[in-house]
Amino acid sequence: MAVSGVEEAVTCAHDPLEALSSDVILAHLRRLLMVEPGRASSRGLKLHVALGIHPRAIPPDHGRVLEELPGLLKNPSVVAVGEIGLDSGSEIEKRVFVEQLQMADELGFPVIVHTPRTGKPEVTPRIVDLIGENIDEDRAVVEHVNMDVLPDLIETECILGLTVQPEKLTPSEAVDILREYGTERFVLNSDMSSAPSDPLSVPRTVHRMRMEGFGRREIRRVSRENIKDILKI
Ligand SMILES: [Zn+2]
């Protein structure tokens, strides 16, 4: 990534292991803080961290993670609470999402919010409602948006994440969205994870934008400035 011109990145909590207990999730969060920034920095990449309980990784004793989270969020690498959100949209997901939205609001953190792969048109409006009830919309990055949900999301104040990843958006689909909706409210990301991912997907999309005549300012906005503004980095 650094070779391709990426200078800084944000890594989020996700679901790398089955959430059998809070110990699994806490070990994941501690690794994000203690290991990953140094690993990235040794390769020339400044790494920021978002911490939270991902909706697909809610352990039965999640209360213990929620208790320890405020202490972990004090680490200087932390820039946001995330990924949090809904996946299936179950009651337990909603409770854990709301608790984390309120925690972020109280502690002054922005949130990075997951939307599901299946059921996106049904679940996303519930996610947006819960954001609006618990934190200022302009403190939320709503991730993995696509054409199915954009007409509604563009009416909100949320920042919208275009995930350029083999099973989500191609660079060309992301560019189509930016042409239709403008660059003001969007951020590009690769969502590098255990799902098939491309570490060069943001540089590829930037390259495609350049080829299709987007200006320097528009490109910087979606690849750098919008996310730096909301995360205050
Ligand atoms: Zn996600």
Is residue 230 packed enough to be buried (19+ CB in 10 Å), middle (13-18) or exposed (0-12)? buried
Instruction: Indicate whether 144 pLDDT > 90.
Output: yes
Beta strands in 25-77 (DSSP E): 46-51
Residues with CB under 5 A from ligand 1 (ion): 83, 114
DSSP states along 134-193: HS-GGGEEE-S--TTTHHHHTTSS-EEEEEB-TTSB-HHHHHHHHHHH-STTEEEE---S
Mean pLDDT of the chain: 97
Structure tokens, 224: 């750098």
Say if residues 222 and 188 touch (Cβ distance below 8 Å): yes
The C-alpha angle with vertex 92 and arms to 129 and 131, in degrees rounded to 5, equals 20
The answer on pLDDT for 226 being more than 90 is yes
Q: Tell me the three state secondary structure of residue 84.
A: strand
Q: Taking a C-beta distance cutoff of 8 angstroms, is the pair 159, 128 a contact?
A: no
The mean pLDDT value for 165-193 works out to: 96
Q: Which pLDDT band, with edges at 50, 70 and 90, does 193 fall under?
A: confident
Q: How far apart are CA 83 and CA 80, in angstroms?
A: 9
How much is the pLDDT for 9? Answer: 97
Using the mean position of ligand 1's atoms as its centre, give its distance from the Cα of residue 67 in Å.
23
How close is the Cα of 83 to the center of ligand 1, in Å?
Answer: 6
What is the share, in percent, of the chain residues with pLDDT greater than 70?
A: 100
Q: Which amino acid is at 177?
A: I
Average confidence (pLDDT) over 151-178: 96
Q: What residue type is 124 in one-letter code?
A: T
> Under CATH, domain 8-231 is a member of which superfamily?
Metal-dependent hydrolases (3.20.20.140)
Residues 200, 25, 44, CA angle at the centre, nearest 5°? 30
Q: Using the predicted structure, report yes or no on whether residue 76 has a pLDDT greater than 90.
A: yes
**Tokens 């948006």 found at:** 145
| Distance from Cα 88 to the centre of ligand 1, integer Å | 12
What does the pLDDT look like over 130-143, one tens digit per residue? 999 999 999 999 99
Percent of the chain with pLDDT over 90: 98
Q: Where are the domains of the chain?
A: 8-231
Contact (CB, 8 A) for 13 and 46: no
Distance CA 107, CA 118 (A): 32
- The predicted model gives 21-25 an average pLDDT of 98
Compute, in angstroms, the gap from residue 180 CA to the centroid of ligand 1.
24
**Cα-to-centroid distance, 143 and ligand 1 (Å):** 6
In the prediction, which pLDDT does 66 show? 98
CA of residue 87 to ligand 1 center, whole Å: 9
User: What average pLDDT does the segment 36-62 reach?
Assistant: 97
The answer to whether the pTM exceeds 0.85 is: yes
Cα 14 to Cα 147: distance, rounded to the nearest angstrom: 24
- Mean pLDDT calculated for residue range 163-167: 95
Q: How many CA atoms lie within 13 A of 214 on its CB side?
A: 24
d(CA 194, CA 175): 25
Predicted confidence band at 194 (pLDDT cuts at 50, 70, 90)?
confident
